[in-house]
Amino acid sequence: MALEPEQPAERSAAAEEGRGVRPGMGRRVIALAWPVIAQNLLETTIGVVDTLLVARLGAAAIAGVGAALQIVFFLLAVLNAVTVGASILVAQAIGAGDVAGARRVAKQALAWGVLAALPLAALGAAAAGRLIGLLGVEADVAAVGTAYLRVSMITLPGLLLSFAAGAVLRGAGDTRTPLVVSVGANLVNAVLAYGLIYGQFGLPALGAVGSAWAAATGRALGAAVLVLILVRGRGGLSLRGRAGWRPRFGAVRRVLALGVPAAVEQALASGAFTALTVIVATLGTQQLATQRITFNALSLAFLPGFGFAIAASTLVGQSVGARRPGEAAAAARASAAWAVAWMVGVGTLYFAAAPWIIGLFSDDPGVIALGARSLRVLAAAQPLWGLLFVWSGALRGAGDTRFPLVANSLSMWAVVGLSAGAVAFFGADLPVLWAFFIPCSGLAALADWRRFRRLAARGLRPAA
C-alpha cells in the first residue's frame, strides 16, 4: 500500500526538528533584541542630552568629557572579562536546564566584578591627571577631563555592578528587566545632570563634572535594583542565600577563560579609539570636539547591531547548552538578517539628515560641515558593523571568544595605522580617518562569519 505524501507543513516542521531548530526563530530574536535596543536607545538618548548640556559650556568642555570617557571605556573593557564570561556560561547553563550552575556563575560574577573594580577605582582616581595627559590634549581640555575622570573612577564599582547584573539577566534570557530598571536610572541621571551642571533645583553648579556625578548616581541606583531583583529571583534564577557569594578562584576560572579574550578584545578596541583620539587631537580642538559630537550622534545608529548581537549571543549560548546546534545556527542567521535590515535603514536616515543632526550639537558652521561629512562616511559603514557585531556575538555565545579577539582587534588597529599614516603624510582630516572603518570592518565581519560557519559545520559544544 502506497504511503500518503507528507504535507508541506509537516515536512517543514520535521526538517526543522531534525536540524534541532524550533519554529519562530525570527520572533525569538526580536523578543530578545528589542528590549536591548530600547535600553541602549534610552541610555544613548540620555548621553546625547548630557552632551548637549555640556556642549553649551564650550568646545573645551565637550572635548574634555570625551577624552575622559575614552579612558573610562578602556578600563571598563578590562573589567568586562567577568561580565562577558558570566553571560555566556549562564546562557549555556540555562539552555542545559542547570539552574544551580547558572546561580553559582552569577554570584561569582557579581562578587568578582566588585572586587576587581575597587583597586582599579582607587588607582584611576589618583592617576586621573596623568591619564588625561597621555592623550596630549590642550590645558583647558585636560582640566575638564581630569575632573570628570576622577569622579568616574571613584564610582566605577557601581557602574561595573550594573553591567554585571544586566549581563547575568540577559544570559538567562531576560532582556526586559534591565530595560525597565534603565528607564528609572536614566530619568534620575537626566534630572541630576541638568541640576548639577547649571545649579538648578537647589543643587550646586558643578559644570561638566556635574554630568559625571549624575551618571554615577543613576547607574548606582540601577545596580542596586538589579541586584535586589536577582536576589529575590527572576525567570527561575534566584541568588537568594549566603552560600556562593565568597569569591573563589576555582569558580571564576571558567568565567575568565571565556571572558578574558573578550575583555582583551574590548580593551584593544578601546585602546584603538584612544589612539585615534590622540591622532585627532593633533588636528586641533575643533576636530577633536567634532569627533566627539559625530560619534555621540552616530551612537544611536549602533543600537540595532548591539541588540541583535546580544540576541545572537544569548540564543546561540542557550541552544549550545541544550545541544541544539541547528537552532544555534538559525539564531545567528536570523540575527544577522535583522541587524542588516535595521542598520541599512538607520544609516540611510543618518546620511540624508547629517547636517541637521550635527546642528543639534553645535551652531559652528565649521563643525557642522566637518561633522556632516564624517557622519555620512560612518553611516555608510553601518550594515558592515551590524554583521560584525552579530557574528562576533554568535561566536561568543558558542564559547569562542578568542577568534573575535584576533579578527576584530586587527581590524581596529589597522584603522589606527592607516589614520596615522594618512595624517602624517597626506594631512588627512576626520572624515578620511572614519572612512578606513569601511574596508577594515567588512573584512573582520567576513572572517567572523566564516569562523562561525566552520564551527557550526563541526557541531557546537558547550564551553568546558
Which residue is it, cell 557601581?
Answer: 158
Under a CB-based contact definition with an 8 Å cutoff, are residues 118 and 152 in contact? no
Q: What is the pLDDT of residue 440?
A: 95
Q: Count CA within 13 A, CB hemisphere, residue 450.
A: 7
Distance of alpha carbon 38 from alpha carbon 32, whole angstroms: 11
Q: What is the pLDDT of residue 445?
A: 96
Q: What is the pLDDT of residue 23?
A: 55
Distance of alpha carbon 335 from alpha carbon 398, whole angstroms: 14
Residue 2 φ/ψ region, left for φ over 0, alpha for ψ in the -120 to 50 degree band, beta for the rest: beta
Q: What is the pLDDT of residue 135?
A: 78
Long-range contacts of 41-44, Cβ-Cβ distance < 8 Å, separation of 24 or more: 41/300, 41/303, 42/179, 42/182, 42/183, 42/186, 43/182, 43/186, 44/299, 44/300, 44/303
How do the pLDDT tens digits run along the chain, 464 residues long?
Answer: 333 333 333 333 333 333 444 557 778 888 888 887 887 777 766 666 777 778 778 878 888 887 887 788 777 766 666 777 888 888 888 888 888 888 888 888 888 878 878 888 888 889 888 888 887 778 888 888 898 899 888 888 888 888 888 888 888 888 888 888 888 888 888 899 889 988 988 899 888 888 889 988 988 898 899 988 888 877 667 788 777 778 777 767 778 788 888 878 877 887 888 888 889 888 887 788 888 788 777 777 777 888 899 889 988 988 888 888 888 899 999 999 999 998 999 889 989 999 998 888 778 888 888 989 999 998 889 999 999 999 999 999 898 999 999 999 999 999 999 999 999 998 888 899 999 999 999 999 999 999 999 998 887 776 55
DSSP bridge pairs for 234: 237
Distance of alpha carbon 89 from alpha carbon 398, whole angstroms: 10
Q: What is the pLDDT of residue 446?
A: 96
Dihedral sign of CA atoms 187, 188, 191, 193 in order: negative
Distance of alpha carbon 250 from alpha carbon 188, whole angstroms: 39
The cell for 379 is: 553611516
Distance of alpha carbon 143 from alpha carbon 207, whole angstroms: 12
* Domain boundaries of the chain, sorted by first residue: 24-458
The cell for 337 is: 538578517
